[in-house]
Amino acid sequence: MVDITINYLDCCDKPSLYTVKVIYESNHDLESLRICRNCGAYWFYRFHEYVSFYGDDDITVWYSPLTKDEAERIENAEDRPELSFLKNRESFMEDSQGVKKVKGQPDFPWS
């Protein structure tokens, strides 16, 4: 497993995440359940790339904290898990303008 260090996450002093389960993956989208190796916090990760044929592509990443129950429900789901609660979950969003806290993230991939 490859650990990913995301310094702006607030679960502990040295967040180091690894992927527990990939929920969805395409050429331009990725959703996964991740856990911090240092503190055990669960995170829902979403990556989206908007491809522009006229300029720079637009890449956006979201991290939303999860409870242990939410993470277990996602990990044990046989099909796509219910993710509508993410629309109102305070999340970190990173894009070309930097990192900021937002009031939620999309609950479904674009592609």
Residue 67's SS3 state is: coil
Is residue 107 in some structural domain?
no
Is residue 92 in some structural domain?
yes
> Tokens 């996964």 — which residue?
32
- Within its chain, how far is the Cα of 94 from the centroid? 10
Question: Which residue numbers in the chain have pLDDT < 70?
Answer: 1, 51-53, 55-57, 110-111
The boundaries of the domain holding residue 38 are 4-102
pLDDT digits (tens, 9 = 90+) for 32-64: 999 999 999 999 999 998 766 676 668 899 999
Structure tokens at 96: 């070309």
Strand partners, 93: 62, 100
**Per-residue DSSP letter, 88:** G
User: Structural domain tally of the chain?
Assistant: 1
